[in-house]
C-alpha cells in the first residue's frame, strides 16, 4: 500500500503522469450505442468545448503532462481516449471496438502511439476490447470488465501480452457498460465502485482483492462519479456526487468537481476523456 508523504515533501509518485486527450472538435451525438445516447438530445457544441477546456485546464494544473491527438471528422467519440487502448510501460494494446461506429478510431490512435515511441501489440481481430475504459489496475491486479463492450476472451490475451494478473468482472447494468463508469481504484489501495453494476461473482472478486471499498449511491452513480481521473491525491470527477466527494476529502484527497453534462449525453465523463500513458510502468 502506498503511504502518503506529508504535504510539501517530495512526492511519492514514481514517475510523471502522462495523459492523452483529444479535443472535441467533431464531438456530437451522431449515433446511439449506449443507453445514454439519443440523437434527439444532441450535445451543445460550445458548452462541450467549454467543459472539455475546463477539464484540460484542471488537469494541466496538476502534476502531469498532457498530450493531444488531432481529432478526426466523422469520429465524434474520439474524444473518449480512454477507449483508445491500454498502455503499460512502452507497450500499447489498441482497442478492437465492438461498434463499427467507433472502429475507425483505432488506426489513428495506433499511429499516434507508434509515432510517440510505443510498441504496438494488436489483439486478434475477433476479440473485442475497449482499452482502459474496461481495464483498470487496482493494487497488483488488472481489473477488466466484460459483456457490453469487451469480450472476456480478450482478457486472457491481454494477460498473456502483459504478463499480469487479470481479474475479469462481468458488468450487468447497460448504463454502466464500461468498467470505468462504475469502478475507480485509488492509490491508497482502496477503490470507489457502484456494486450493483457487477454480477455477484464480480462483486465477490472485487471484494476479495480490495478490502477497502467506497460504495457509490445510485443517485450519484448516474452522474458517473466513479468516472474519475486520479492523480495521486487529486481526483478530477464530474459534479453531482456530494456524498462521494465528502468521503474522498475525509481520506485526504483533493476533489475537483467539473460539469460534464454534454459528455454524459454520450455516456462519458472525466475519466473517459483521458488515457494514461502508461497506466502502469510494469505489471
What does the angle CA 177 – CA 179 – CA 185 come to, to the nearest 5 degrees? 155
Angstrom CA distances, 102 to 48, 81, 88, 195, 239, stand at 19, 11, 23, 28, 27
Show the cell assigned to 153. Answer: 476472451
> Residue 206 interacts with ligand ARG (CB under 6 A)?
no
Complex with ligand ARG: residue 133 or 233, whichever CB lies closer = 133
Show the cell assigned to 49. Answer: 468545448
Of the candidates 229, 197, 201, 237, the one whose C-alpha atom is nearest the C-alpha of residue 215 is 197
Complex with ligand ARG: residue 22 or 210, whichever CB lies closer = 22
Stretch that binds ligand ARG, among 11-19, 151-159, 164-172, 178-186 (CB under 6 A): 178-186
Give me the least distance between CB of 99 and ligand ARG, in Å please: 7
* Residues in 88-117 at the binding interface with ligand ARG, rule: CB under 6 A: 102
Q: Binder to ligand ARG among 24, 133, 240, 278 (CB under 6 A)?
A: 133
The DSSP code sequence of 188-228 is TS-EEE-GGGB-HHHHHHHHHH-S-EEEPPHHHHTTTTT--
Complex with ligand ARG: residue 37 or 162, whichever CB lies closer = 37
Give me the least distance between CB of 186 and ligand ARG, in Å please: 18
Is 223 labeled as catalytic in the residue annotation? no
Query: Quick count: other Cβ atoms within 10 Å of Cβ 66?
Result: 15
The DSSP code sequence of 40-98 is TS---HHHHHHHHHHHHHHHHTSSEEEEEPPP-TT-GGGG-GGGSEEEETTEEEE-B-S
The catalytic position among 108, 155, 178, 223 is 178
The catalytic position among 144, 182, 225, 272 is 272
Give me the least distance between CB of 194 and ligand ARG, in Å please: 13
Q: Binder to ligand ARG among 178, 223, 233, 256 (CB under 6 A)?
A: 178
Q: How far apart are CA 87 and CA 283, in angstroms?
A: 11
65: left (phi over 0), alpha (psi -120 to 50) or beta: beta
Q: How far apart are CA 140 and CA 148, in angstroms?
A: 25
* Residues in 4-43 at the binding interface with ligand ARG, rule: CB under 6 A: 33-34, 37
Stretch that binds ligand ARG, among 20-28, 74-82, 200-208, 242-250 (CB under 6 A): 74-82
Closest residue to ligand ARG, judged by C-beta, is 133
Complex with ligand ARG: residue 66 or 188, whichever CB lies closer = 66
> Residue 82 interacts with ligand ARG (CB under 6 A)?
yes
Give me the least distance between CB of 146 and ligand ARG, in Å please: 14
> Residue 262 interacts with ligand ARG (CB under 6 A)?
no
Is 272 labeled as catalytic in the residue annotation? yes
Q: How far apart are CA 161 and CA 227, in angstroms?
A: 26
Residues recognised as catalytic:
178, 272
Q: Which residues bind ligand ARG (CB under 6 A)?
A: 33-34, 37, 77, 80, 82-83, 102, 133, 178, 180-181, 266-268, 272
Amino acid at each position: 500500500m502506498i503511504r502518503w508523504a506529508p504535504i510539501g515533501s517530495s512526492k511519492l509518485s514514481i514517475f510523471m503522469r502522462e495523459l492523452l486527450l483529444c479535443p472535441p472538435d467533431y464531438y456530437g451525438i451522431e449515433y446511439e450505442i449506449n443507453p445514454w445516447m439519443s440523437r434527439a438530445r444532441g450535445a451543445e457544441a460550445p458548452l462541450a468545448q467549454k467543459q472539455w477546456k475546463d477539464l484540460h485546464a484542471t488537469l494541466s494544473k496538476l502534476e502531469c503532462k498532457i498530450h493531444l491527438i488531432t481529432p478526426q471528422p466523422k469520429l465524434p467519440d474520439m474524444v473518449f481516449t480512454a477507449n483508445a487502448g491500454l498502455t503499460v510501460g512502452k507497450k500499447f494494446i489498441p482497442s478492437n471496438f465492438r461498434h463499427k461506429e467507433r472502429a475507425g478510431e483505432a488506426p489513428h490512435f495506433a499511429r499516434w502511439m507508434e509515432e510517440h515511441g510505443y510498441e504496438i501489440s494488436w489483439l486478434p481481430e475477433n476479440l473485442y476490447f475497449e482499452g482502459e475504459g474496461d481495464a483498470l489496475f487496482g493494487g497488483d491486479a488488472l481489473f477488466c470488465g466484460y459483456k457490453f463492450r469487451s469480450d472476456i476472451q480478450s482478457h486472457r490475451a491481454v494477460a498473456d501480452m502483459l504478463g499480469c494478473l487479470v481479474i475479469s468482472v462481468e458488468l450487468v447494468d447497460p448504463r454502466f457498460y464500461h468498467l470505468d463508469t462504475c469502478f475507480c481504484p485509488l492509490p491508497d489501495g482502496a477503490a470507489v465502485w457502484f456494486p450493483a453494476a457487477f454480477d455477484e461473482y464480480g462483486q465477490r472478486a472485487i471484494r476479495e482483492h480490495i478490502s477497502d471499498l467506497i460504495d457509490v449511491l445510485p443517485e450519484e452513480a448516474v452522474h458517473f462519479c466513479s468516472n474519475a481521473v486520479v492523480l495521486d491525491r487529486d481526483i478530477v470527477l464530474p459534479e453531482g456526487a456530494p456524498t462521494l466527494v465528502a468521503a474522498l476529502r475525509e481520506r485526504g484527497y483533493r476533489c475537483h468537481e467539473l460539469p460534464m453534462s454534454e459528455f454524459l449525453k454520450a455516456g462519458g465523463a472525466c475519466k473517459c476523456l483521458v488515457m494514461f500513458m502508461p497506466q502502469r510502468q510494469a505489471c
